[in-house]
Amino acid sequence: MIKEVIHDPIFLSQKSETASNSDLPIAKDLLDTLISNKENCVGMAANMIGVKKRIIVFDNEGLIITMFNPEIISKSGEYETEEGCLSLSGERRTKRYRTVKVRYQDMSFKICQQSFTGWIAQIIQHEIDHCNGILI
C-alpha cells in the first residue's frame, strides 16, 4: 500500500525501534511508497511513512534492497555534500563517507554484512540517519 510521506520534523527526529519479522507488512508499504515516488526518491526509511521502526529501502541501480535494523559498523573517506529529502524541502549540507560497512537483517531476518561505496553508500547513510532521528 502506498502511504503518505511524513513531513513533521518532530516526528522524524525520534529514534526508531528495532524491527521484527512481524514488521514485514511495513517493509512492503515502504517499498510500494518508494516505487510510487521513484521520480523524486532513491531511498526511504519507515519513519517517512509514519512508522518508527528500523527499516530502510533503497534503489541499488535498479535492484530495490530492504534492510531491517541496519547499522554502520565501519566507515572511511569522509566528505561533505548536499542532499535533499522527500520529507524535507530544499537541500542541506551534510558529512558522508565514501565507503560504509553495514550490518543488517534481510527479508528472512538473516544477519548480513556488506560494504557499499559511492552513491549507494550515501543513500544508506541518509536512511540510517532517519532511523536514528537525524535530519539533514
Over residues 78-129, the pLDDT tens digits come to 999 999 999 988 899 999 999 999 999 999 999 999 999 999 999 999 999 9
The CA-CA-CA angle for residues 69, 106, 67, to 5°, reads 45
Over residues 64-77, the pLDDT tens digits come to 999 999 999 999 99
Active site (catalytic) residues: 127
Whether the model clears a pTM of 0.85, i.e. scores above it, the answer is yes
Over residues 34-44, the pLDDT tens digits come to 999 999 999 99
First to last CA, the chain: 27
Distance in angstroms (rounded) separating the CA atoms of residues 132 and 61: 25
- Contact 119/95 with Cβ under 8 angstroms? no
- Write the single-letter amino acid at 31: L
| CB hemisphere CA count around 128 (13 angstroms) | 20
